[in-house]
A and B are shown apart, each in its own frame.
Chain A
Amino acid sequence: MTPTMRTEAVTKVLVANRGEIALRIVRTLRELGLESVAVYSEADAGAPYVALATQAVCVGPPAVSESYLNIDTILAAALQTGADAVHPGYGLLSENPVFAEAVVKAGMTWIGPPTDAMNTMASKTHARAAMTKAGVPVVPGGPVEEANSIGFPMLVKASAGGGGKGMRRVNSADELPDALAACRREAAKAFGDDTVYLERFIERPRHVEIQVLADAHGTVVHLFERECSVQRRHQKVVEESPSVAVSDSLRAQMGDTAVAAAQSVGYVGAGTVEFLVDSEGEFYFLEMNTRLQVEHPVTEMVVGLDLVAEQIRIAQGEKLGYVQGDLRQRGHAIECRIYAEDPVSFLPQTGVIQALIVPEGPGIRHDSGICSGWEVGVHYDPLLAKLCAWGPTRSMAIARLRRALDDYIVVGVQTNLDLLRHVIDHPEFAAGDTTTAFLEEYPYERPPVPDVVFIARALMDVVESEPKGDATHTDHQADAHSPWKRLRGWRL
């Protein structure tokens, strides 16, 4: 049962998240003149979002299970600081109905959908049943017992899953037991629920999702599509809006279906209905994410709405104030996810970011949770930042993004920037021919290291081995044989 939602004006919001999304939410709260409360683990004490919130409360040690997933501690922080609303961000507790209910029971506003809708969508198996009932097409699949009738290749998925965690591709029956065991284990760890189910694997599909907004007064609109086909390990890397593959009629059809899906579960708030689109243009419901999505900025750039501000307005009981016909897609936006990971093996990387230079310029948006001196540790998702570019056309957005990727400097931690440059440079990407198999079909290969890199490395060694005092000399004071003299233009 859903407790009655508070519909009073929000004044102080606890952000139950970390990293780039916590900072992104804090920014909107500041723009709206609202107070913010950050929660942080001991590992995140020095994070930018902590410094920029009105108040901050430490909620425990670095492990998420002892900090960001600890409902009691986070609620206590909200009550102690007098917060009257909670924004959960994405991941962590954002799709946890128990947390949502606890927030409402404690007399605060939950900036998210009603718990009934969350409950339905939280279980992928329940969601599939509900969508089938609502006439929304779903990918053929079912429980593990039906493996034989679904056919190979198939995907093993965590019922409580998301973000590709726990998901395994299985090509034949003998691979199934290992995949089931691994998926159950990862699901139990990540979501506290080891229920898994099977789904037909659709070859070379596109991943296209529809952003929806629903107010508490029965108005539901969609904010068009995001194409998120370029993925690695079933996790998105590059997202854009609009999708090259979506015609006006397909857009209208998918939009209407997404609105119907939201209405069928009594949805209120911002949500995303994810679809697979096959090569014939047929689309199938994948799942509904009952929260803000990582890639929401591309929609904001194209539609011109601040989704966090809209979430807050909806949570306060306000009407949307616009209808579908008022909404337009303007230009084109593309997002790149910058991860601390090896661009070839995709293995997460750790270390201290020793220098960070972020691109600027027309149409560029950068959402990050990092700064120079930041230590990328093992406890959290390796997402460092999101770099977005907007342009009046897709090719201008690509040109801006490509230029911005070249200007993005991270020293000290390996990132996937080279992989992103490879994707954005690829003729198939330029042609809009992106499927979820993109990186398998066009893998990034490490290019040979140009000699200039070894020259730079060796000269830096030489320069660094010079006695420190020399650096403070001006040119005419320095020893004529000192290499520092050759650092022409040296300014101190």
Chain B
Amino acid sequence: MQKNALRSRAGYVLTDHGSGTTRFLTKTLPRLKLFCNRFHGIPGRKIKTVMKLTALILLVGCLHVSAGTRSQTVSISGKDLPLTKVFNLIKKQTGYAVFGKSSLLRQTDPVTISAVNMPLADFLDSVMKGQPIGYRMIDRTIFIVERSTPFRSAEQKTTVNGQPLSLDEPTPRQTITGTVVGENGSPVEGVSINVKGKKSGATTDNKGKFSISVEPDQVLVFSHINFHPREINLKDFPANGRIVLKQKEATLSDVVVTGYGNVRKESFTGTYTQVTKADIQKVTSNNLISALQVFDPSFRIMQNNLMGSNPNVLPEFYIRGQSGFPGIKELDKLESGSSGVSQFALKNNPNTPIFIMDGFEVAIEKIYDMDINRISNITILKDAAATAMYGSRASNGVVVIETVLPKPGEFRVNYNGNYSVTAPDLSSYNMMNAQEKLDAEYAAKIYEPYVPPSDPGYKANLLEGLWQMQQKKNEVLKGVNTYWLSQPLSTMINHRHNVYIEGGSQGMRVGIDLKYDNQNGVMKESFRKRLGAGLTLQYQTTKLQFRNQIYFDAVNSEESPYGKFSDYTRLQPYFNMYDENTGRYVKELPNYNANQVLNPMYESTVGNFDRARYREWTNNFTANWFVTKFLFIKAQFAVEYKDANTDKFTSPESALYGRTDLFTKGELNQTATKNLSWNSNVFASYNRTIDAHNINVSLGVNGRSTRSEFSSALYRGFANRGFNSPAYAFEITRKPDRSDNLARLLGSFATLNYSLNNIYLFDGSFRMDGSSEFGTENKWAPFWSVGTGMNLHNTKYFKNFPYINMLRVTANIGQTGKSNFSPYMARNTYKILLDDWYPTGIGSSLTYMGNNRLTWEKQVSWNIGANLTLFKRYNIEFNYYNKRTYDLITDVSLPSSSGFLVYRDNIGEVLNKGFEIKTSLNIINNKDFSFTVIGNLAHNRNQIMEIAQSMKRYNTRIDDYYGGYNNSTSPSLILYYNQQNAKFAKPIMKYEEGSSLTTIYGMRSLGINPANGKEVYMRPDGSITYDWSPMDQQPIGNTEPWAQGTAGINARYKQFSLFTTFMYEFGGDLYNQTLVDNVENANLAYNNADRRVLSERWQKPGDISTLKAIQDRYFVTRPTSRFLQRNNYVVFNSLSLGYDFDPAWLKKKLGMSFLRTSFLMNDVARFSTVKREMGLDYPYARTFTLTINASF
């Protein structure tokens, strides 16, 4: 089949094998070819037809495959071959496209030729010898043109080929042509060729070719920014026209992608990390954000121990330390009862960097759901010089993502498939089994009454307790030993497919992107499904380029109906989840303590669900206008529409509704969010090298508008699980609620990048931002940065050290901002009181006390850095930074007689300083074997310099909160109080000047008194006590590590490649909450616990132990330094092993141009000094992925 298709593409074998597709192809292709041939100079309507047809063919069975080898040589032999046939063969063999008027070819004569592996250019020259046509090759396209002067001269060149130019030609002026190549033989584009002393000149095309009109005896000067200039006297002009230029050391023709145009890497003074798609694919198969951690030590994801590997939880992260107070503080979260990480909390995370995708700011969720195959490259911009052009959004760093653009040429199909196995990782759990648990209960004497033996009820209570123990023992003897941990989990197989079809002419290109991704989480039935399709069209002439990308994405996700993992981990192993008689799940588990326990396994069967989905349309239009060689204007306009819904249903059959009224059973909560945003950038960029000066200036404006609408409704009373649509609800519990929000941003910016002799560098940028969210008195904000640097390796002195390929020092300073406050916070706003009307009409009231002077948060940061490359193989980069974030937006408390409790003002200051080291050592590099070691490290220190009064009040609120601890030892209520007090076991962060945003507060502990198993504390004044008091809390540790980073190796042997990464962290502290909750405070009467309860708790006088007495059920251990542990760890983050198939073999055997398979494993192993349970509400998982990348 494939072969047929191939042949029919070639156009001269039109066999019908009965396949409809083939028939279709044979019918349409000749027509298509005709269109293509006519393309040069025909109106756009027909191009469209071609496009449509092409797209159609591509979609029908994806048969449009080509054996194009991309080689630049041809082997064609034959007698009297018509040129049409010759070009078909060229197309087939080289993969080059051929365009031109077909009428031109009709005028040509057939040729007789015998060529074996002849270079294409030579071949074309020879077949066109004496013909009325010429050609021009641009990229991978051969344009057939009528023979005109320049091409005639090319003809001439071939005729003079072999002999030096004769000086006594009758015409003194002549045109010479040639090719400029580098030392490695590859052609060099953009070399300017000047006649010495004259203004006239030429430039090489992308094949390195040039032609220039000269007089004899003149001297030609070849110059290019990355090459040493060369002068050649025409007398010495080589016969084959081949000019070799010597490359300058450490070629960095690359550019830094800033999102607003590209800046030459060599002259850029900002700090950034650039990552390509290939790099990312080595580390992850689908989690882009976590992969970025590997490449930049300052990019860090906050570990979410609660949500583990839940595919539906977005990560929280920051760059170069945290610099803002959280939007919702810990205590407020606790008191409002909202869960840990919601979308809302993330929006309020004051440290999240912004993401710019193809010039357009996008939400984190979009990045999270993005297919990594769409990425071309990612740049993390870190300091002021790199980010200042983002103005009021820049302070947290900017991550710029560029997506792939279709490449011209024959249509190619790229397939990427991932097949992975995800298995839950329970290695951090160490729960007791039924027998052990029973032993522990005996040891803890939980059967013993709380009343003293003198009490008259003592004996009865004791008997009751023993009776219950006996019942449990009977269960154990019956063989009940439920391993609850594994019940809601399963090992999942996931697969993901991406097809990218690209191709077209140099002038018109098409890219079609299709993706399917199904990620099942390890909690049963939790998943995230992503579907996407995109179409990219690009039209290009020599001066203009238009590109339109349209994308549609659909994501459906569902949380596990099995509920939270933590609902299982604490269940007693001697509980039988099945009814002994019926074999079905029991609704309630046995009740030994007058404490109702629902069976979560039963709950999983009643039909609860928690679903979310969104649909997103994005259209991104870009126009590039290359006004002159130096001036370039770009205009971008992007529109995005997103429609998201969530449905959360609690089935009426849930055991939660045991005794409630029929009409109130079952609940459905629906929310809908609609976002419409647009973004427009227009900027001009002027880039020119004049002698030793290189100037790059950009000017532009940027406007953005985001409108969001949110609505929610709560329905109650459902007949059964199937009737879960709102239509079946008995009532609307709450009037559907709707809110909307519009935010706009307008900015104009200018940047300048200048270098002198490629040695002295200067960067400057300025941006003015206006935001609808700022106060009326401060609508506009200026931001700026300046940077300077020196390329020492280009100086004369360092030329003496040829092994120093690069040595650059840079320094920059700038002011950026961030505005992470809620919309309208700066303004006096009225809220319409919709709940009910006053008899004389609808009313409204002031929402907050606006602050007209409210401004963005500001950050002044400076950075000094050095970058060194030795022997072209060893690279090391060092940066030291200091970021002072001030005017932090915080609540300022007011006396309530002002009418309000708080208003927002700019108070507060946070300092982050630290350094980063990045190294890459290419130790072995030869044809078959290469071995590179990479490593990076970042150190950051965070300090709160100033806080508002309200933060101090917040601190006292924390003390009040702990004051809620109930000290009562009333025997009958002790277990009740124990449960009520359990929440006080968690340390809550305070904000104090001089400490950091990651400080842990608690009582300083002196350990467990071996005499009685009680903890001894030391107060800040040095006195010793048994009593825990919130006032005596002090900073006991800091979660921020001294350093963190990544190390890894990247090795290649022949076609095998190996990439491993290890992430490490040391010097930070961790409060071992699971040790507190599950061992120290374990409530053995109600819950299962860690095995360490039996082995590590104090049992009798004289025991030297770090954990309190096992018999102690009275007191909940509140934050103490006893549970503070040094958190040093190394995670074997990823291991990937890949194999690249030999292209020649592939072409021959499979007709493919590229095939790579790789095996990837994430979270291979973890070595940590802290032993704690990982993944509380959702377990962690290990993933094994097999990836196939193929191109046809």
A binds B: no
What residues make up the interface of A, taking CB atoms closer than 8 Å to B?
none
